[in-house]
Chain A
Amino acid sequence: MDILVYALYIVAFAMFILGLSGLTAPRSAVRGNKIAAAGMAVAFVATLIHIRETGSWLIIIIALIVGVVIGIPPARRVKMTAVPQLVALFNGVGGGTVALIAWGEFIDSDGFTGLHAASGPVLPLVIASLFAAIIGSLSFWGSIVAFLKLQQILPGHPLSVGRLQQPLNAILFLGSVVAAVIVGIGSVGTGADPVWFGAILVVAGVLGVTTVLPIGGADMPVVISLLNALTGLSAAAAGLALNNIAMIVAGMIVGASGTILTNLMAKAMNRSILSIVAGGFGGAKGAAAASSGDQIAKSTSAADAAIKLAYANQVIIVPGYGLAVAQAQHAVKDMAKVLEARGIEVKFAIHPVAGRMPGHMNVLLAEADVSYDAMKEMDDINGEFSRTDVTIVIGANDVTNPAARSDPNSPIFGMPVLNVTESRSVIVLKRSMSSGFAGIENPLFFGENTTMLFGDAKKSVAQVTEELKAL
């Protein structure tokens, strides 16, 4: 029977790898996801066979039903704007599971002393479990904070205790490691006091909170990706401790791919993962705000904007989180259609970290049937702005901030941005003059060829479209 379980696990992780490689191309992505899900079902059945003699069926069945009932409705009903926080939440509960598994093992093996009764490598297994406990708890609480920030229950801008932040995090990290060492040493004797295991979970949890709280703005997607990778690593560690190859393979693949994804995103912003985790944008905020203190932004009307657009040859649309919030993707597609009907070239410039997650804008625009070919990545389109008559910025802010190129004092100096200021004129659709998620002023709004169209993005776009049709 155990051979059957092992064989099924091998089938399962082969399907994960197959499914994941499917997810890397648009055409095979849907199937890839289904293959991975089917692999999960196989692994699940194998595990049920493995534990078939358990006396805990009632608890297991009830827990599975509760999990399905809680998990499916939000996944089915969530608006596409809220997907990032939902992914953060799902990632968090995954991390929570890992931490709880480690805790369960601690209890079941009397403080890991039970492991010493068997022959073989004890220390590595104890270390793997303790690693899983620390990272799992960190990922759980970090993801909860990320969720609360993206859901705007907590403010989106960085919250930190200033210069003490890094020493504080270092102390918390050391504290969780010390508690883990005490539990590890205890496992050789009669088992450490359970208080110490609790201390690991609590201190690592606090570390998760204090690590994510100071992070804001465009760094948020990077953090979710990093937490996702960490949960994967902790799952692999838990798999080592439990001698479960499906968990080892799946966890490690997620850990590796998540690290790559995190790195790609950090690179897109010309920042290192370390500097993001260590800092947030907090420090230089004052300087940025002062530089554009008493400038005045010019506002425009839908009719004026429509006239400008009507006589353009090429229009670039820069979508951002504001488009997602206003659910303006269909309105934007309608406007693009009207423009194209007039023979105007319409392109979409997608910054790698526009919105709250990489690819967030692509998903939204794809929902509105905007073609892949019209969506240009930053490097492909940055040369085009100088040849563009009108650039429409819809609810994007930090990713268009010219200070990132020109002002060494800006907190986002060095981050690659879309060079919208090079186009002949820029129309910025925005609800108000408030600054972006990062809390940084944007000199673009005060630029000579910039006009602001205030209001809800969806309504503004619809108005412009109406005016265009009337012309």
Chain B
Amino acid sequence: MDYTGFLANIAILVLSGFIGFAVISKVPNTLHTPLMSGTNAIHGIVVLGALVVLGTAENPGLPLQIISFVAIVFGTVNVIGGFVVTDRMLAMFKTRPTASTDGKN
């Protein structure tokens, strides 16, 4: 990678930070837990890093293989588990409107 590429990545990094701020700053309290869980699942993207490290290594030795194996397992748990548990949490909000008015005076 050359300097231009690196600086472009830094630019992307900075802009992403602003997008993160902008998107999140208007969330109702109610959704904080699902949101935390959802962002938690998204940083499971690190599993890609583990794949790249192992996948681009030429003749990886045993230590690298073991480390990468554990890293891929961890990353997969993070991403799959994160999305599934978020989905379960959000499913509870779905049936809500029907119950909202009964019994209220």
Contact = CB atoms under 8 A, between A and B. Distances in A.
26 contacts: A19-B42, A24-B28, A33-B41, A40-B41, A43-B48, A47-B48, A51-B55, A59-B72, A71-B81, A87-B37, A87-B82, A90-B82, A97-B49, A101-B71, A104-B54, A107-B63, A235-B43, A240-B9, A247-B45, A253-B23, A256-B19, A258-B39, A261-B27, A261-B32, A341-B103, A371-B100
A404 B69 CA distance: 49
Given A94-B44, A224-B36, A246-B48, A54 B81 contact: no
Interface string A240-269: 101111111111111111101100110000
Interface stretch (A73-81, A150-158, A166-174, A206-214): A73-81
A37 B5 contact: no
B53 A104 contact: yes
Q: Name the prevailing secondary structure of the B interface residues.
A: helix
Say which size band chain B's interface belongs to. Answer: 35 or more
Say which size band chain A's interface belongs to. Answer: 35 or more
B11 to A, nearest CB: 10
Nearest to A78: B85
Q: Name the prevailing secondary structure of the A interface residues.
A: helix
A255 B40 CA distance: 10
A250 to B, nearest CB: 4
A357 interface: yes
A240 B80 contact: no
B72 A256 contact: no
A370 interface: yes
Contacts of B85: 75, 78, 83, 86-87, 90
Contact of A121 (B6, B18, B29, B74): B6
Interface in A369-404: 369-375, 377
Contact of B42 (A20, A60, A66, A248): A20
A103 interface: yes
A228 B100 contact: no
Contacts of B102: 337
